[in-house]
Structure 1
Amino acid sequence: MAGSLLDRAIYSYPDVDRLVGLHSGTAKRWLEGYVRDRRFYEPVLRQEPTGSDSVTWGEMVEARLLAEFRSREVPVQRLRPAIVQLREEFGRYPLAHARPLLDVSGRELVRAVQERVGVDPSLQLVVVRSGQLVLADAAERFHSAVEYDDDEVARLKPEARTPGVVMDPRRAFGQPAIRSVKTEALAEDYRAGTGRDDLADLYDLTIEQVDEALRFELIAASERAA
C-alpha cells in the first residue's frame, strides 16, 4: 500500500463530518473509537486508534459508504466485525477497494463474511433479491457515486444531483470542485457580489458549470441546516 492514493492525509475530522453529512464528532468516533458509560468502543474504520488529527482519502471514502447507513436504526458500530474480516481479504481500506468488493465476482465473498459475523440485515452490503445476489440500496448509491483508478476509489461525487462536482484527492485538496475549482470558493465570490458571467470568465468555466457549483453549495448548506 506504500504510495497509495488512499494513504493521502488531507482531511480533518470536521472536514469528514461536513463533506459526508455527519453529525459533528461522528467521523472521529468512527475512526478513533469512543468511550460511553466507561466502556471503550473500538474504531469502525481503523484497526486501532492512531491519535492522528488527519484523515486519509481512503478513510474519507469509507466514511462516505458508512454514511449511507447513518439513518438506520442499527448503529454502524455493528459493521465493525465484517470490516475487520474484509480488511484481512482486501487490505487496509477494504471499503475503498469497493470495485472488487462490490462487483459481481466479489459479492459472494462479502455475503460469506456477513453471514459469518452476523451482520444485521439493515447493514448488509449485499443482499439476495429474486434469487440474485445484488448490492443493498446503500451500497448501490455509493457504487454509483465513485470512480476508480484500477481497483481504488480515485474520485467521488458528493451529491447525485450535481454530478459535475467531484472530490479528487489530487485536485483542490480533495474538496468538492468543478474542473479543479472549489465550489466553496465560487459560492463565496458569488455571495460577495461577483456575477455568474464574471465567475465563468474568471475561472474559465461555463455558466452551466458555475450554476452547478452554486447549486451544490446550496444543497450542502440546506442539508447541514436540517
Structure 2
Amino acid sequence: MATLVSERTDQPWLRRLYLPSYQIAEAAKYADISPQTVAAWHRLEKHFLEKEDKAALSYMQLIEVAVVAAFRKMGVPLKNIRATRDYAKHHLKSEYPFATFRFKEGAKHLYLDSHELEDVAPGSVVQTDQGGQLAWEIVIGRLREFDYEKEHEGLALKWHVAGRSSPIIIDPRIAFGAPAVKGTPTWIIRGRWDAGESYSDIAEDFGIVSTDVKEALKFEGVVPGGRRKSLVH
C-alpha cells in the first residue's frame, strides 16, 4: 500500500512524517485520551513498532490517534474503529486514511452497526450522513483542529492541538513537530518559566506576547486552565 507522500524525498520534513517521534504518553496528552487507549491502538496496527516499552509514533500515526480519540469519545470500540479504518484504507488506497482530507470527505459513506455505538437500538444500522449525523459531528468537530493542505495531497499538516482559539500548533515542518507557539516549542517556554523568568521576559525574548506564553504554560500543565486529563479508555 503506497503512502500519500513519498518517504524518499530530499525534503527532511516530509521524511519526518513517517519517523517515530512521539512517545505514547505524549500522543495521549495531545489527543486528550488515555495512554492505555493509545497503547491498545498501537498494538492493533502492525505497522507500529513491535516493542511497546520503546514504542513511538510518527506524525502520521499521531494524527490517526487523534481521530481514534474522537471515535472513542463516541463510545466506538477499538475493534470497530479498526474495521472503519481498514475500510477507508482499502477504498482510499492510503496507508494512513485518518490523516487525510479524503477520509473526512468520504466519511459520509461509512456505516456503523448498532453495537458500535452507545444508546442505539439493537439490530439497527446508523448511516453517518443521516441518522448518525449527530455522532459524526463529534468526529468532524475534532477534525476541524487540522489544516489540510491540497498541495500535499490533502494531508493534515497543521494541528491546532489545544483548539482553534489557542496559538499552539503541531506542524512537522516547525520545531521538528513539537507543540510550538510561533515556532517556539512549548517545552522551551516551560523551561524558561521554571528558571524563574516572567511572562514578559519570555515573550520579549521569543517575539511573542505574554498571553501566548501563558497558553504555552497551560498546555504544559504548569498553570491552571489546560486540558483536563482524559478518562476515555
Is TM > 0.5 for Structure 1 vs Structure 2?
yes
Matches within 5 A, 1:148-159: 148-150=148-150, 151-159=154-162
**How far did residue 67 of structure 1 move?**
0.9
Aligned pair partner of 2:59 in 24, 35, 57: 57
Number of residue pairs aligned between Structure 1 and Structure 2: 205
SS in 2 for 1:208: helix
Deviation by residue 1:58-105 (Cα, 9 ceiling, x = unmatched) = 1100101111233444423222112111111221101001x12223xx
Deviation by residue 1:166-204 (Cα, 9 ceiling, x = unmatched) = 011222232211011112221232233101111012112
Aligned pair partner of 2:69 in 67, 70, 81: 67
1:83, 1:94 within 8 Å by CA — same for their partners in 2? yes
Distance in structure 2 (CA, Å) of the matches to 1:121 and 1:71: 10
SS in 1 for 2:167: coil
Matches within 5 A, 1:55-204: 55-90=57-92, 91-97=94-100, 99-103=101-105, 106-108=106-108, 110-111=109-110, 114=111, 120-121=116-117, 126-128=128-130, 136-150=136-150, 151-160=154-163, 162-204=165-207
| CA distance 1:126–1:47, change in 2 (3 Å) | farther
Distance in structure 2 (CA, Å) of the matches to 1:126 and 1:189: 46
Distance in structure 2 (CA, Å) of the matches to 1:101 and 1:225: 25
Question: Unaligned stretches of 5+ in structure 1?
Answer: 33-42
1:96, 1:152 within 8 Å by CA — same for their partners in 2? yes
Aligned pair partner of 1:30 in 41, 49, 57: 41
CA RMSD of aligned residues (A): 3.1
TM-score (norm 1): 0.76
Q: Is residue 2:26 matched to residue 1:21?
A: no
Distance in structure 1 (CA, Å) of the matches to 2:58 and 2:128: 26
Structure with bigger strand share is 1
SS in 2 for 1:205: coil
Question: Unaligned stretches of 5+ in structure 2?
Answer: 8-13, 121-125
TM-score (norm 2): 0.74
Deviation by residue 1:112-135 (Cα, 9 ceiling, x = unmatched) = xx25x7772459793316xx9687
SS in 2 for 1:193: coil
Distance in structure 2 (CA, Å) of the matches to 1:210 and 1:223: 19
Distance in structure 2 (CA, Å) of the matches to 1:12 and 1:125: 35
Q: Which amino acid aligns with 2:159?
A: L
Distance in structure 1 (CA, Å) of the matches to 2:136 and 2:224: 25
Distance in structure 1 (CA, Å) of the matches to 2:200 and 2:79: 47
Q: Which residue of 2 aligns with 1:35?
A: none
Identify the structure with bigger relative contact order (alpha carbons < 8 Å, sequence gap 6+). 2
**How far did residue 14 of structure 1 move?**
2.3
